[in-house]
């Protein structure tokens, strides 16, 4: 990923979304492009047009924090976009401080912590959306993602954009796709020198029109909490809440899921937990003969409100 292009595209995409009226500026004449003109951004930021044009060409080298603050106010950046701008400026410096990429190795102590979480699905991810580890319930919940990886390290971005089964798995595929790209954009700002990330973005851009369109928007987000509907092939739709907890020592993230107490989704999680405890392996994509057929009877009983 070219650093100057990243900066240029981010700044132009941010000014394109603000109208003169929203910025409190008069609008004269026909506008060939949406949003603010460079001169208007420069006026709002209190800098010359020539200086702002230099910044938008991708030259953030040596820019002070005060200038970044003025630019963030002029472009109405939210906190995460402001952090992204700082990341881009840091990487553009004459001797950029390399962002420490997330490891691909999960320490034994972290694995023990993950395995101790028996009532909630949990996974560990890095900034490239590689899913590096699962607890037992997380492995069952993410069975379609694991199956799609075919023995390789599962990657949520590849699953979302390159595997048709992702449309069935994510209850809201459009939102999942938006969130995934926004996470990768934020990671690219933190470390544009990460070759594995560059290769991933190149692969997805080449193979997915949906990814290319979203990447061009340059939206950035960090999702620390929220709700997700998932459609599991065995138990059906689950409405789950997630919390993303930073593992600062390893630059990884632990994502844990929970369901509303007393809800149908909590019953389904308990059923998946029972499966994980009994089999020690992910639930299959669909019930099969033998033990799985007997499980289908259990699933039907739970969904009908019977007790085990």
Render pLDDT for 116-138 as a digit per residue (tens, 0 to 9).
Answer: 998 899 999 999 999 999 999 99
Does the pLDDT of residue 288 top 70, yes or no? Answer: no
Average pLDDT of the segment spanning 70-89: 93
Q: What is the pLDDT of residue 260?
A: 96
CATH topology of domain 3-91: 434 Repressor (Amino-terminal Domain) (1.10.260)
Does the pLDDT of residue 298 top 80, yes or no? Answer: no
Q: How far is CA 250 from CA 10, 51, 129, 257, in A?
A: 28, 39, 15, 21
Average pLDDT of the segment spanning 280-285: 47
Residues 6+ apart with CB under 8 A from 83: none
Does the pLDDT of residue 283 top 60, yes or no? Answer: no
* pLDDT band at residue 294 under the 50/70/90 scheme: very low
Cα separation, 128 vs 201, whole angstroms = 9
Of 183, 212, 179, nearest to 197 by C-alpha is 183
- Domain ranges within the chain, ordered by starting residue: 3-91, 108-303
The percent of residues in the chain predicted with pLDDT above 90, rounded, is: 69
Would you say 133 and 139 are in contact if contact means Cβ atoms under 8 Å apart? no
Backbone angles phi, psi at 131, to 5 degrees: -95, 105
Per residue in 45-65, pLDDT (tens digit) is 999 999 999 999 999 988 999
Q: What is the pLDDT of residue 306?
A: 33
Q: What is the pLDDT of residue 61?
A: 85
Which residue has tokens 């057929």? Answer: 293
Does the pLDDT of residue 190 top 60, yes or no? Answer: yes
Task: Give the range with max mean pLDDT: 32-36, 94-98, 195-199.
Answer: 195-199
Strands 252-259 and 122-125: antiparallel
Q: What is the pLDDT of residue 275?
A: 79
State whether the Cα torsion 115-255-204-234 is positive or negative.
positive
Cα separation, 167 vs 39, whole angstroms = 43
Average pLDDT of the segment spanning 220-231: 90
CATH topology of domain 108-303: Beta-Lactamase (3.30.450)
Does the pLDDT of residue 247 top 90, yes or no? Answer: yes
Top-confidence residue, 249 or 276: 249
Does the pLDDT of residue 15 top 90, yes or no? Answer: yes
Q: What is the pLDDT of residue 98?
A: 52
């Amino acid at each position: 990923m070219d650093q100057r292009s990243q900066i240029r595209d981010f700044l132009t995409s941010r000014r394109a979304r603000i109208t003169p009226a929203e910025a409190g500026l008069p609008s004269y004449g026909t506008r060939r492009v949406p949003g603010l003109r460079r001169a208007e951004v420069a006026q709002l930021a209190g800098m010359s047009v020539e200086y702002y044009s230099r910044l938008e060409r991708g030259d953030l080298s040596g820019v002070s924090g005060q200038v970044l603050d003025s630019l963030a106010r002029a472009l109405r950046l939210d906190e995460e976009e402001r952090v992204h701008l700082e990341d881009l400026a840091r990487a553009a410096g004459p001797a950029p401080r390399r962002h420490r990429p997330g490891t691909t190795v999960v320490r034994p102590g972290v694995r023990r912590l993950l395995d101790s979480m028996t009532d909630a699905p949990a996974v560990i991810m890095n900034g490239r959306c590689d899913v590096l580890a699962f607890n037992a319930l997380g492995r069952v919940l993410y069975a379609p993602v694991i199956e799609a990886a075919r023995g390789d390290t599962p990657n949520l971005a590849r699953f979302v954009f390159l595997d048709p089964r992702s449309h069935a798995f994510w209850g809201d595929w459009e939102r999942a796709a938006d969130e995934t790209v926004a996470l990768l954009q934020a990671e690219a700002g933190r470390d544009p020198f990460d070759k594995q990330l560059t290769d991933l973005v190149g692969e997805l851009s080449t193979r997915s029109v949906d990814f290319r369109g979203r990447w061009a928007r340059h939206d950035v987000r960090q999702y620390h909490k929220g709700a997700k509907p998932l459609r599991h092939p065995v138990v059906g739709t689950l409405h789950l809440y997630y919390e993303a907890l930073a593992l600062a020592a390893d630059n990884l993230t632990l994502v844990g899921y929970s369901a509303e107490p007393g809800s149908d989704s909590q019953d389904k999680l308990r059923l998946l937990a029972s499966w994980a405890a009994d089999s020690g392996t992910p639930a299959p994509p669909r019930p099969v003969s033998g033990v799985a057929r007997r499980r289908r009877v259990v699933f039907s009983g739970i969904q009908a409100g019977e007790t085990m």
